[in-house]
Amino acid sequence: MNTGRTVFAQIMDYLPLRRFDTIVQRYNGDYKVSRFSCLDQFLCMAFAQLTYRESLRDIEACLRAVPNKLYHMGIRSTVSRSTLADANEARDWRIFADFAQILIGTARHLYRHEEFGLELDETVYALDATTIDLCLALFPWAQFRRHKGAIKLHTLLDLRGNIPSFIHITDGKVHDIKVLDVLIPEPGSIYVMDRGYVDFARLYGLTQNMAFFVVRSKENLQFRRIYSRPIDKSTGLQCDQTILVTGPLTSQLYPEKLRRVRFVDATSQNRFAFLSNNFLLPALTITQLYKCRWQVELFFKWIKQHLRIKAFFGTTENAVRTQVWIAISVYVLVAILKKQLKLDLSLYKILQILSVTPFEKTPILQVLTEFPDMIPEPEVSNQLELFD
């Protein structure tokens, strides 16, 4: 690799820039733009994510301190905080959302053979949402509570590689279950969800689309047992039943049979009841699938800890969506980098190394392998890892 190129430029080599140009043309992103293109905007925001910049002024100060290196980083214009702020507010956020989906497709292909704890041929997704608090006075469009603003990130996580395959951003008032109205089910795949997603009309929609689901049941579920399968109670299983829901409304919304599995956790003694439309998997596998759902919680905590999605550089809805999608792009880009370079480092260590070496003119593989043991893992007990 060319040792005269900066580390930042070498990272950006993994971006499919021709496809980015196609997306920009689709949305007329550079229409009547003479300076500071959409690519310049993306690179500046990606730099901010990689190097933990705190504000637009911070981004401007850092990049203006090295004017001779900007061209070699791919940034063709002088960086000004006002120009960057205007770009974040005016340029269509869908440019960066579509580009993130392209990167997600690349990452999912690279991680398609990754193990996630269960030997299943089907694609398994974990569906959940997280809330990011905002100041309602600064973000009046992000309604949540009477005196509080927020946005929600509804995320469908592919458990093979922990790559988000679908992200839907809404204001905080939108209920989690409504994401199933915009989600296109993938036939044959398994969707694992918490009990906040128990809506029998929408679950029946998954069944009609030939997709499987595993969802935690609510305690007040009205049902009639049709058949019970034999179980091994030493594994924690309590029952494996075929049921019909009998509620006046739910029986109409979901007229077909369901599978109900009850389980007791040996460590915490917590009791769980799961519903599924998959009658072929072993009952214990149903419980293990729900346990794997925790990976989406780890994903949310990880991106909040290591990416800039809790403090925003702009207050408009377009600026917030732009920043979130570029943050997701950076996360996926680093995951692609890890796989392409066959690194054993955690994503945390890779980000720490890249954050202090963007202007270095050293081969990126050398940067990421020369001093990895000198970076200690965080000692705080709630630090989370998505990649081993």
pLDDT for position 373: 61
Contacts of 292 by beta carbon, 8 Å cutoff, 6+ apart: 116, 117, 118, 124, 126, 159, 192
Quote the pLDDT of residue 116: 84
pLDDT at 244: 96
CA distance 133 to 131: 6
97: number of Cβ within 10 Å: 20
Q: Rounded to the nearest 5°, which phi and psi values hold at 177?
A: -65, -25
Q: Are 155 and 299 in contact (CB under 8 A)?
A: yes
Q: Using the Cα atoms of residue 301, residue 305, residue 308 and residue 311 in order, give the sign of their dihedral.
A: positive
Res 1: pLDDT: 43
pTM exceeds 0.85, yes or no = yes
pLDDT of 375 reads 59
Whole-number pLDDT of residue 285: 94
Per-residue pLDDT tens, the chain, 388 aa: give them.
Answer: 445 789 999 999 999 999 999 999 999 999 888 889 999 999 999 999 999 999 999 999 999 998 888 888 888 888 899 999 999 999 999 999 999 999 999 999 999 888 888 888 899 999 999 999 999 999 999 989 888 999 999 999 999 989 999 999 999 999 999 999 999 999 999 999 999 999 999 999 999 999 999 999 998 999 999 999 999 989 999 999 999 999 999 999 999 999 999 999 888 888 999 999 999 999 999 999 999 999 999 999 999 989 989 889 999 999 999 999 999 999 999 999 999 999 988 888 999 999 999 999 889 999 998 766 655 665 544 544 555 5
pLDDT of amino acid 336: 95
Domain boundaries, the chain: 195-285
pLDDT of residue 310: 86
- Which pLDDT value is given to residue 380? 46
Greatest distance between any 2 Cα atoms in the chain: 74
CA angle 359, 20, 319 (to 5 degrees): 75
Dist. CA 293–CA 261, nearest whole Å: 16
Neighbours of 3 (CB within 10 A): 10
Distances (CA, A) of 207 to 91, 201, 221, 256, 289: 39, 10, 19, 9, 18
Which helix (H) or strand (E) element contains residue 7?
A: helix 7-12
